[in-house]
């Protein structure tokens, strides 16, 4: 966000504090609007990036087995309440023609799709869609498990409930054994590390 956008968000936060009945000028709150604006600048950082471009592809392997990156932590904000949802994402793809992506770029892609107001289903689908665009792989699998603060600290108040979503494309959609192997490796493959 620009300095002007940060100032606008800070003004809006001060308005909210006053509207809910706080004294926005009391000492403990004087810096709060600007802190919240800076926090939003981090949490919504990908709104200033139109597309995900920060990746390199390699063609150094003839490996056609699935690559699994499991249990990647993420934080996002639900677009309905602007409250956090967070959890873990497991991603797998089956390379085509030995084309692979730098491993760190998968968590970077997760940051790109989660650092904006969104819903869990969109996070799940966007990761699968972007990896398909980038890698044209033989298959993509994405599994997301998350806790939603809008279901825990307000509303229905169900503490600890876990929402699970998944997207399977290509070989993972057509081959049940491959899907099962992904789920097994994503959930249990790192227990001894």
Ligand X SMILES: Nc1nc2c(ncn2[C@@H]2O[C@H](COP(=O)(O)OP(=O)(O)OP(=O)(O)O)[C@@H](O)[C@H]2O)c(=O)[nH]1
Q: How many residues bind ligand X (CB under 6 A)?
A: 10
User: What are 58's strand-pairing partners?
Assistant: 100
Q: Which does 119 bind (CB under 5 to 8 A by kind): Zn ion, ligand X, none?
A: ligand X
Greatest alpha-carbon span in the chain? 64
Which residues, 6+ apart, have CB-to-CB distance to 169 below 8 Å?
128, 132, 139, 140, 141
Q: Which does 10 bind (CB under 5 to 8 A by kind): ligand X, Zn ion, none?
A: none
Which 64-83 positions form the footprint of ligand X (CB under 6 A)?
78, 80
DSSP letters, 96-146, are STT-EE-TTHHHHHHHHHHSSEE-HHHHHHHHHHHHHHHH--SEEEEEEEE
Residue 161 engages ligand X in binding (rule: CB under 6 A): no
Q: Which is nearer to ligand X, 6 or 72 (CB)?
A: 72
Q: Which residues bind Zn ion (CB under 5 A)?
A: 78, 80-81, 150
Q: Which is nearer to ligand X, 10 or 151 (CB)?
A: 151
From CA 159, how far away is CA 155, in angstroms rounded? 11
Do the annotations mark residue 188 as ligand-binding? no
Residue 121 engages ligand X in binding (rule: CB under 6 A): yes
Q: Which is nearer to ligand X, 54 or 121 (CB)?
A: 121
Cβ contact 163:145 at 8 Å: yes
Residues that bind ligand X (CB under 6 A): 78, 80, 119-121, 148, 150-151, 155-156
């Amino acid at each position: 966000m620009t300095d002007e956008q940060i100032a606008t968000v800070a003004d809006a936060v001060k308005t909210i504090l006053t509207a809910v009945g706080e004294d926005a000028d009391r000492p403990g709150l004087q810096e709060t609007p600007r802190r919240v604006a800076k926090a939003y600048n981090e949490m919504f950082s990908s709104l200033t990036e139109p597309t995900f471009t920060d990746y390199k592809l390699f063609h150094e392997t003839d490996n056609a087995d699935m690559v699994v990156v499991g249990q990647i932590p993420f934080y996002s904000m639900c677009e309905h309440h602007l409250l956090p949802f967070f959890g873990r994402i497991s991603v797998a793809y089956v390379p085509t023609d030995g084309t692979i992506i730098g491993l760190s770029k998968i968590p970077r892609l997760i940051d790109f799709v989660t650092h904006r107001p969104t819903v869990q289903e969109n996070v799940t689908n966007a990761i699968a869609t972007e990896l398909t665009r980038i890698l044209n792989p033989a298959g993509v699998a994405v599994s997301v498990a998350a806790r939603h603060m809008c279901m825990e600290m307000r509303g229905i108040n169900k503490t600890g409930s876990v929402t699970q979503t998944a997207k399977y494309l290509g070989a993972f959609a057509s081959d049940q054994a491959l899907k099962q192997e992904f789920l097994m490796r994503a959930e249990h493959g790192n227990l001894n590390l």
